[in-house]
Amino acid sequence: MIRAGDDTPALLTAQGVIDKVEKDTLTLRPRGTDGKTGKQLVLRLTGTSRLYTLTTEKHAAGPILVQKHTEPGNLKPQQAVAVIYTGDTSPVLLSAVIQAGAAQAADRKGAWKLPRGVPAKVETALKYIDEHHSAPEGYEGGRTFLNLGRAGEEKLPARDARGKPIKYQEWDVNPRVPGKNRGPERLVTGSDGSAYYTDDHYRTFKKVR
């Protein structure tokens, strides 16, 4: 929190993913350093709100980060975003930086078909996770999947097409039953928008998208 003085509201920061964009508001799901998402944060868009996309451009000396101004109509759900906003009862968005690469991941999430051999319950769980960024009620999930590729486990891609490390989370596809083992089935999702299904506890994977 940043306090500029008694006459001005405190400035707050957050990062997470966009839930929805409307004419006068931007709604996001804040995400902590532990990867867990918090309650929806609704920010008012005003004439002072500034939106930027963050891209990487290749140069002879190496890749550099570039911020480009954008408009609310260019934002999409599931894009990663970092914001600065006023900390009052009706918070105003002052500045937002959106990862341009996250738009591609959002597009991949929106258009995919369940591969052969993957049960329909995986699609149901994945759609809920995409929308809510948490496990369905009665299910376990959201823990970090380390992707070590040890003890007979299949190793998933470690980096995306731009060379950025992929962070994975694991989710159950069956509801929790008290006193019963979770079983071998899991859904693993990546920060690049990818998703994988395993029915033998990570020994082999089927790519869902």
Question: pLDDT tens for residues 8-25?
Answer: 778 999 998 888 899 899
pTM for the predicted model, two decimal places: 0.54
**Which residue segment(s) compose the domain that 79 sits in?**
11-100
Q: Quick check: 104 pLDDT over 60?
A: no
Q: Would residue 120 count as lying in a domain?
A: yes
Among the listed ranges 56-70, 74-88, 163-177, which one has the minimum average pLDDT value?
A: 56-70
Task: Please give the structure tokens belonging to residue 60.
Answer: 């002879």
Quote the CA–CA distance of 17 and 28 in Å, as a whole number: 6
Picking from 71, 100, 129, the residue at the C-terminal end of a domain is 100
pLDDT at 180: 92
Q: Is 207 left (phi over 0), alpha (psi -120 to 50) or beta?
A: beta
R_g of the chain, CA atoms, integer Å: 19
Q: Quick check: 63 pLDDT over 90?
A: no
Quote the CA–CA distance of 151 and 153 in Å, as a whole number: 6
Picking from 100, 128, 150, the residue at the C-terminal end of a domain is 100
> Are residues 127 and 68 part of one domain?
no
Coil, helix or strand for 103? helix
> Are residues 83 and 51 part of one domain?
yes
| Count of domains observed in the chain | 2
Residues forming beta bridges with residue 52, ordered by sequence position? 69, 97
pLDDT band at 34 (very low <50, low <70, confident <90, very high): low
Q: Quick check: 118 pLDDT over 60?
A: yes
Residue 98 near residue 54 (C-beta atoms within 8 A): yes
